[in-house]
Every structure is written in structure tokens, then in C-alpha cells.
Amino acid sequence: MKIGIISDTHDNAERVEKALKIFRDNQVGLLIHCGDMTNMETALLFQNIPTNAVLGNCDMNEQAISSAIAVSGGQFHGLSGQLLIDNLQIAWTHGHDKKLLHHLENLDKWDFVFYGHTHIARIEQRGKTTIINPGAIQRVTVPTIGVLDCKTKEYQSITVE
């Protein structure tokens, strides 16, 4: 399975739509949103691909975002989420809770840890864990998202133009 990783969409519907097209073109079967959708309208854009999302520091209406994600067949996980996909242990958070992010990064339980918040794309290996920030869609010069092929463990950073 391929999963799409996106963060910090901050209500930019045009770029979200472009990102979703990229995910569809890459045959992504599941999305992980690392927070800062910001509102329910943005969350509703994710209806065509099952989306798992966490709370970001700009997500003021948690209940509305959670409901919108549920309507689209996805799941809202609170401050952090975890999934087992193709035998890969995956965790993610927004990153504004530095203590939580540090804990996930150093637990040595996860194959992949995803986070956002900084709006800076980054990949780091720490022990068995690959730590990835896909970058951001909004409030950034070069908007980026990511696609992870769970079979090959290959990650691709993609510019959203």
C-alpha cells in the first residue's frame, strides 16, 4: 500500500485539491494528515481517500474537524495517531507538543514517525525509526507532500505546484 503524508494545509483549498490529485495519481490508498487543517471545510476536502488526522495547534474546532473526517470515512486521533500498515509500525503527531514528538522519535518502537508544524520538509534516521516531516501546503515558499510505499519503504517528497 502507498500512503500519502500531508501537513499544515491551513485552509488552502486550491493546494489541497492539487495535493489530492497527486495522491490519486500515485495510487495512494490512505492519507495521514499531521495537523493544522484549521477548519471543517478543509477536512471535508479529504472525502475521496481515507484520512487519518491529528490535532494541530491551529485546529481550534476539534469536534467539527473530527466529525468532517469521520464523514469522509477517516479517523481523527487526537494529539497523536498510530497504525500498523503492511507490518510497519507508524506513528504521527503535529509536532507542536515537543515532549510528545521527542517521545515518539526516541521510543525505538516505530518504523516511521511523521510530524508537521515547522513547515520544513525533513527526513532523519534514528535507530530503526525514519522520522519524516512532509513539509507544508500553506505558509511556505515551496509546498510539499510525501508518499510512502509501504512495501519498499521508499519515501518520495513531492512539490505541489
Neighbours of 60 (CB within 10 A): 11
pLDDT at 48: 86
Strands, sheet with 144-149, edge to edge from the N-terminal-most edge strand: 75-76, 51-53, 30-33, 2-6, 144-149, 154-159
Neighbours of 100 (CB within 10 A): 16
Q: Give the alpha-carbon dihedral of 66, 145, 118, 106, to 10 degrees.
A: 80
pLDDT at 71: 87
Neighbours of 11 (CB within 10 A): 16
Q: Which residues of the chain have pLDDT under 50?
A: none
CATH number at residue 28: 3.60.21.10
pLDDT at 88: 98
State how many domains the chain has.
1
Interval 103-132: pLDDT, tens? 999 999 999 999 999 999 999 999 999 999
Q: Backbone dihedral region of 117: left (phi > 0), alpha (psi from -120 to 50 degrees) or beta?
A: left
β-strand pairing of 2-6 with 144-149: antiparallel
Q: What is the distance between the alpha carbons of residues 146 and 10, in angstroms, rounded to a whole number?
A: 17
Give residue 47's domain range. Answer: 2-159
Report the b/e string of 122-143 with b at 16+ CB within 10 A.
eeeeeeebbbbbbbbbbebeeb
Sequence-distant (6+) residues with CB within 8 A of 27 are 2
pLDDT at 6: 99
Phi, psi of 16 (to 5 degrees): -60, -45
Angle at 48 between CA 42 and CA 49, to 5 degrees: 95
